[in-house]
Chains A and B, each alone.
Chain A
Amino acid sequence: MDWGTIFNNTLAGLLTPTTIAFALAALGLAMHFGFAGLLNFGIAGFMAIGAYGYAISVLTFGFPWWAGMLMGILGSIGFAILLGVPTLRLRGDYLAIATIAAAEIARLLFLTTAFTDVTGSADGLFGYNKSGGFTAANPFPPGSYGFGPWTYNSETLWVLTFGLAVLAICVWFLWALMRSPWGRVIKGIREDEDAIRALGKNVFAYKLQALIIGGVFGGMGGIIYAAFANVSPGVYVTSITFFIWTSLLLGGAATIFGPVIGAVIFWTLQAFLSNILPELALNGILPVDGTQAATLRFVLVGIGLMLLVVYRPQGIFGDKREMTFVK
């Protein structure tokens, strides 16, 4: 077995544009679920809206890259309002059903051939980073940067720097919100919204604000993902939502840094498993063939999610007393 390559690839998973995109989306879920108690199973929909919002405004409407990204953010705000106004009156578990349906509707709208001119249908969209000027805005001259497993070309480095900056702003934003009286009301709503209503707070407005903020984080995750790879409807499937949930619960739902660290651990583990499992199969240790071994990691993700929820619901960084599924 080639342990050198396995470890090199695993360590590379620590810092990739995908990791940052997932960290952003997990941060959005932390706002929704960890702090406001909104069961959102449609975070993939918010990411899709962000990514398509960016790509479509650049390709179809000729916006510059930054305006395109702003459109992606506006799109996720719009999606949050559209989703929130009719459904936030629902009890938690019904909201989960509504969000999962909304995310699927969004994905299928991007997939349908009815709007191929704009959405590219199953092929998705590409080339917007170049035509929108995001690639040209790269301040790093071409070349190779970094060391060891973390060696990047200038394009990846630019996406990473940009993504880390966005992530840092979002982390600060969430931290600033949650230490304030606004955050107190949001946590109160998670505990019992009728009690908060009886104290004279407009619960619906607070829930909508929380849904919008988390949705924008999710949208930005989609934008960072799009800034690195192509936009394709095959990415924003429901399983992405569950990967993000796993990252969130791994780190700790009601924490600020938990979702970020959770996403990093998740993708490092993914990189490790996707390298080691085929290797094990090849050496005859696992009784399956190589391709089956690669998909086995998703089975392991599912098992991991179940074990987390049962044995460590507060995640790595959470306060055991604060986040638990047994009330």
Chain B
Amino acid sequence: MSNNESPQKTTGLHVGKAEPGCKKNDPMLVIDNVKKSFGGLTAVDVEHLEIPKNAITALIGPNGAGKTTLFNLLTGFDNPDTGTWSFLGNSLSGVPSFKVAQMGQVRTFQLTKALSLLTVLDNMKLGAKDQAGENIFRSLFPGFWKKQDQEIEVKALELLKRFKLDAKKSDFAASLSGGQRKLLEMARALMTDPVLVMLDEPMAGVNPALTQSLLEHVLDLKKDGMTVLFVEHDMHMVRHIADWVVVMAEGKVVAEGPPDTVMKEQAVIDAYLGAHQDTDLGVVTGRIDTINEEKSK
């Protein structure tokens, strides 16, 4: 296993001090004043955030911090109340999700969405963009799409081989294990030739043996010139592969920076463990009178 040697980290991504909302040398996604509330709850309230290009950025934070909601907003699966955001200089406000994907920003889902009753190969072929045979009129005549379909199949088989799913190509996706579905979803996303890959908890529910190969696939994405933004709870993974870490809590970005320094920041510790971690639980809940008395002295 090659996990003993640390992967090459990309450094020098930011300009100035590494603080929430700091400028990046080469931003891919720029987010401004994006706000989304569900009733009285503000799920996401990001003032300014830039995601660096050609790097692996991790988005971390405790449960309910608004990570997945931010993902949904950025990919057009949900609409924010206010705010603007742009991808490679193109504004994405109000752009429907399928157009966002066509621009090269592809995502996966926290709950894996394998198309269960399609074969693994069909799952892959669906990912390819600009297929002539997907037009209803041209689809009737194989002359228009047969050749392209064969090229897509070659590409799909190559990717399946890389993800070690080639033996499963004619099985229904429903027969794959949870980890294999994660792999399939990632491989399918790659069929779209993305520039930015957004992974929502790629490691959730994956056994340790597969984790290793998934990690390497994520690192390979960077090697192939793609940008990765991922949400993850597994801190070892974040430390291991992320070049940049964005920490969210209660909808806001509370810290940013390279993984080894950002994890030590007080704001991050507060976000994960609570600001009163050093205080006795009795004081927080106010149930132990003695401590209150001591304090009042």
Q: Chain A: residues with CB nearer than 8 A to chain B?
A: 173, 176-177, 179-185, 187-188, 190-192, 194-203, 209, 321-323, 327
Among candidates B75, B123, B136, B141, residue contacting A198 with C-beta atoms closer than 8 Å? B75
Question: From residue 131 to 152 of chain B, which have CB atoms closer than 8 A to chain A?
Answer: 131-136, 139-142, 145, 149
B272 within 8 A of A: no
Q: Are A176 and B98 in contact (CB under 8 A)?
A: no
Q: Are B140 and A187 in contact (CB under 8 A)?
A: no
With A181-B133, A181-B149, A183-B139 already in contact, the answer to whether A198 and B106 are too (CB < 8 A) is yes
Q: Are B140 and A181 in contact (CB under 8 A)?
A: no
Query: How many chain B residues touch the partner (CB < 8 A)?
Result: 43
Docked Cα-Cα span, A195 to B110, in Å, equals: 12
With A180-B145, A194-B77 already in contact, the answer to whether A199 and B127 are too (CB < 8 A) is yes
Chain A proximity of B195: nearest CB distance (Å):
13
Q: Are B192 and A177 in contact (CB under 8 A)?
A: no
Q: 3 shortest A-B CB distances, which residue pairs?
A: A181-B133, A200-B101, A180-B139
With A195-B109, A327-B116 already in contact, the answer to whether A182 and B139 are too (CB < 8 A) is yes
Interface string of B48-77 (1 = CB under 8 A from A): 000000000000000000000000000101
Among candidates B107, B113, B125, B189, residue contacting A181 with C-beta atoms closer than 8 Å? B125
Number of A-B contacts (CB under 8 A): 103
Docked Cα-Cα span, A201 to B77, in Å, equals: 13
Chain A proximity of B183: nearest CB distance (Å):
15
Q: Are A194 and B109 in contact (CB under 8 A)?
A: yes
B215 within 8 A of A: no
Q: Chain B: residues with CB nearer than 8 A to chain A?
A: 75, 77, 96-99, 101-102, 106-109, 113-118, 122-123, 125-127, 129, 131-136, 139-142, 145, 149, 172, 174, 185, 188-189, 191-192
* Chain B residues closer than 8 Å to A190, beta-carbon distance: 117
Q: Are B109 and A191 in contact (CB under 8 A)?
A: no
Docked Cα-Cα span, A182 to B75, in Å, equals: 24
* Chain B residues closer than 8 Å to A322, beta-carbon distance: 117, 172
* Chain A residues closer than 8 Å to B141, beta-carbon distance: 176
What residue in chain A is nearest B102 (Cβ atoms)? A200
Q: Are A197 and B97 in contact (CB under 8 A)?
A: yes
Chain A proximity of B205: nearest CB distance (Å):
17
What residue in chain B is nearest A181 (Cβ atoms)? B133
Q: Are A180 and B142 in contact (CB under 8 A)?
A: yes
Q: Are B126 and A198 in contact (CB under 8 A)?
A: no
Chain A proximity of B125: nearest CB distance (Å):
6
Chain A proximity of B54: nearest CB distance (Å):
22
* Chain A residues closer than 8 Å to B185, beta-carbon distance: 195
Among candidates A179, A180, A196, A202, residue contacting B126 with C-beta atoms closer than 8 Å? A196
* Chain B residues closer than 8 Å to A201, beta-carbon distance: 98, 126, 134
* Chain A residues closer than 8 Å to B115, beta-carbon distance: 187-188, 191-192, 195-196
* Chain B residues closer than 8 Å to A179, beta-carbon distance: 142
Q: Are A176 and B117 in contact (CB under 8 A)?
A: no
Q: Are B134 and A185 in contact (CB under 8 A)?
A: yes
What residue in chain A is nearest B140 (Cβ atoms)? A176
Chain B proximity of A181: nearest CB distance (Å):
3
14 contacting pairs across A/B (C-beta < 8 A): A181-B125, A182-B136, A184-B126, A184-B134, A190-B117, A191-B115, A196-B126, A198-B75, A198-B189, A199-B101, A199-B191, A209-B136, A321-B117, A323-B117
Among candidates A182, A183, A202, residue contacting B98 with C-beta atoms closer than 8 Å? A202
Chain B proximity of A274: nearest CB distance (Å):
37
Sample of 10 further A-B pairs with CB below 8 A, known A200-B129, A202-B96, A322-B172:
A173-B140, A176-B141, A180-B145, A183-B139, A187-B122, A188-B126, A197-B97, A198-B109, A199-B101, A199-B126
* Chain A residues closer than 8 Å to B174, beta-carbon distance: 321
Among candidates A177, A183, A198, residue contacting B97 with C-beta atoms closer than 8 Å? A198
Q: Are B139 and A199 in contact (CB under 8 A)?
A: no
Chain A proximity of B286: nearest CB distance (Å):
45
Docked Cα-Cα span, A322 to B115, in Å, equals: 11
Among candidates B113, B127, B135, residue contacting A182 with C-beta atoms closer than 8 Å? B135
What residue in chain B is nearest A212 (Cβ atoms)? B136
With A187-B118, A191-B115 already in contact, the answer to whether A200 and B192 are too (CB < 8 A) is yes
